[in-house]
Amino acid sequence: MRIYIARDYKDLSRKAANIISAQVIMKPDCVLGLATGSSPIGAYKQLVEWYEKGDLDFSEVRTVNLDEYKGLTGDNKESYRYFMNTNLFDHVNIDKANTNVPNGMAKNTEAECRRYNELIRSLGGIDLQLLGIGRNGHIGFNEPEEAFEKETHVVALTQSTIEANSRLFDDPDDVPRYALTMGIKSIMQARRVLLIASGEDKADAIHKSLFGPVTPHVPASILQMHNNLTVVADKAALSSCGKELEDAANKEGFYVDL
Ligand code: GLP
């Protein structure tokens, strides 16, 4: 596990964008696993800037997003498809046909989940999976559970997630109660994982996920088992990890950029 400590959100966004752009430069037709939420917005902005300067080319890049709300169409401004279009895809030279988000409007959600699993397989798996983290340690929409869900599935959102995400909706009652999400196995099969976290309200989730026991009650804790995990977090998000970070800096298998 490599941990990079960012000064602030701007620094975090730049570091994350650097890692993503390195992937695009090294493998122009790479498969990027993408995430939504507030955390990656700054990194997407930075990627757009570098694209505009002529430093990045997305023409061959393929993408798969982690999740989508059930019942929202792609043109609903709260949907994750809309988020991806407006924050990234509309501003770079990516072929929209190569961008994938689960279909929240699918009548048969089970079939849609199977289609999404097949799609990830047919793309040859994910080269780099970008992840944010929920306050309860969720990744994608893999909520705390008794067991890790493996592949794409439908999930009932927890109250904590509904509340946290209601800030993005005009009316909090509009937050969908269900979502489709890639499962833990699909995430863990990505060749490289980049986890980003910003702000004090993520400190507990980050502490438990990086240094606590690996448990489905903290879904992101499974990332400790990934052999190519990079974490970029700001000081606030790492504020509960002080001692563990110092210890980790001297441990095999860790690189901490203190
Ligand atoms: C949502 C998304 C997650 C995201 C999380 C945290 O629930 N499904 O992929 O990581 O929110 O979002 P934020 O970055 O806004 O805190």
Over residues 77-132, the pLDDT tens digits come to 999 999 999 999 999 999 999 999 999 999 999 999 999 999 999 999 999 999 99
DSSP strands (E only) in the chain: 2-6, 31-34, 62-65, 67-69, 99-100, 128-131, 153-156, 178-181, 192-197, 229-234, 255-257
Whole-model pTM: value is 0.96
Sign of CA dihedral 219, 224, 226, 230: positive
152 in a structural domain: yes
With contact defined as beta carbons under 8 Å apart, do 136 and 144 qualify? yes
The answer, yes or no, to whether any atom of ligand 1 lies below 6 A from the CB of 215, is no
Write the CATH number for 109: 3.40.50.1360
140 in a structural domain: yes
- Per-residue tokens: 86: 């407006």
Best residue for ligand 1 mutational test, from 44, 165, 232 (most atoms within 8 Å of Cβ): 165
SS3 172: helix
Question: Can you give the residue range of the structural domain that contains 76?
Answer: 27-230
Q: What pLDDT, on a 0 to 100 scale, did the predictor assign at position 191? A: 98
Q: What pLDDT, on a 0 to 100 scale, did the predictor assign at position 258? A: 66
In the chain, pLDDT over 70 holds for what percent of residues?
100
N- to C-terminal Cα distance for the chain? 14
237 in a structural domain: no
The number of distinct structural domains making up the chain is 1
10 in a structural domain: no
Q: Which ligand 1 atom minimizes the distance to the CA of 133?
A: 10
- The amino acid present at 6, given as its one-letter code, is A
190 in a structural domain: yes
204 in a structural domain: yes
15 in a structural domain: no
User: Which residue owns the Cα nearest ligand 1 atom 10?
Assistant: 132
Consecutive 10-residue runs of the chain (258 residues): their mean pLDDT? Answer: 95 98 98 97 98 98 98 95 98 98 97 97 97 96 92 93 90 93 97 98 98 97 97 96 89 84
